[in-house]
């Protein structure tokens, strides 16, 4: 019988505030990993991160090409910021990133949300940001449990064995 791994961490709260492909996926990978480890998981999408749970946008996210100092061109050279401003470059880079994601069999955003929900994780939208962008619950994936304030989200921490991660 294999030894069961015990985590001192009982709960994780993740906050996703950016709507580009790499940031939304990073949040979802961490949330899914926590769910798979048996850690109580709650994810809060705010500001542009709401694109990650908005039905019309969640599977059409782009890679940030402007202002991304970690972006590299093939061969490892830094990606010049000005290049990201040329029409079609962001779409091309996003297509290449999506191909790499598909090649690695990484789930799409909607599939990750389904896995997190099915594993017992909870997904929330920020009331302030939803109001700002005039989004209603019906605009969001049905995996969103509720639209709440950040204060209500923080109340879910309720203990010392909770980690809050802002992505």
pLDDT in tens, 5-48: 566 788 999 999 999 999 999 999 999 999 999 999 999 999 99
Per-residue pLDDT, 1: 44
- Residue 3 covered by a domain: no
Q: Residue 126: which H helix or E strand, with range?
A: strand 122-126
Give yes or no: residues 37 and 113 share one domain: yes
- Residue 140 covered by a domain: yes
Q: Residue 123: which H helix or E strand, with range?
A: strand 122-126
Query: What is the reported pTM?
Result: 0.87
Question: Domain containing 146: what range?
Answer: 10-59+108-167
What whole-number distance in Å separates Cα of residue 147 and Cα of residue 70? Answer: 33
Please, what is the average pLDDT of the chain? 90
As for how many domains the chain has, the answer is 2
Query: Residue 14: is it exposed, middle or buried by C-beta count within 10 angstroms (0-12/13-18/19+)?
Result: buried
Q: Please say whether the beta carbons of 107 and 88 come within 8 A.
A: no
Per-residue pLDDT, 73: 77
Give yes or no: residues 54 and 113 share one domain: yes
pLDDT at 2 over 60: no
Full DSSP string of 133-157 = TT--GGGB-TTEEEEE-HHHHHHTT
- Residue 153 covered by a domain: yes
**pLDDT tens sequence across 52-77:** 999 999 999 998 887 777 777 778 88
Give yes or no: residues 72 and 27 share one domain: no
- Residue 119 covered by a domain: yes
Give yes or no: residues 72 and 153 share one domain: no
Give yes or no: residues 113 and 166 share one domain: yes
pLDDT at 144 over 80: yes
- Residue 101 covered by a domain: yes
């Amino acid at each position: 019988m294999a030894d069961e791994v015990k985590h001192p961490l009982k709960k994780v709260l993740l906050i996703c505030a950016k709507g580009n492909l790499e940031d939304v996926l990073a949040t979802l990978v961490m949330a899914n990993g926590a769910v798979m480890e048996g850690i109580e998981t709650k994810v809060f999408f705010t500001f542009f991160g709401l694109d990650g749970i908005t039905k019309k946008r969640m599977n059409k996210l782009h890679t940030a090409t402007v202002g991304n100092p970690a972006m590299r061109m093939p061969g490892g050279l830094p990606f010049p910021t000005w290049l990201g401003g040329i029409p079609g470059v962001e779409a091309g880079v996003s297509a290449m990133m999506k191909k790499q994601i598909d090649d690695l069999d990484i789930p799409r955003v909607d599939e990750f949300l389904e896995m997190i929900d099915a594993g017992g994780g909870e997904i929330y939208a920020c009331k302030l940001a939803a109001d700002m962008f005039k989004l209603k619950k019906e605009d969001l994936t049905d995996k969103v449990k509720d639209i709440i304030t950040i204060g209500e989200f923080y109340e879910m921490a309720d203990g010392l064995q909770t980690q809050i991660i802002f992505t």
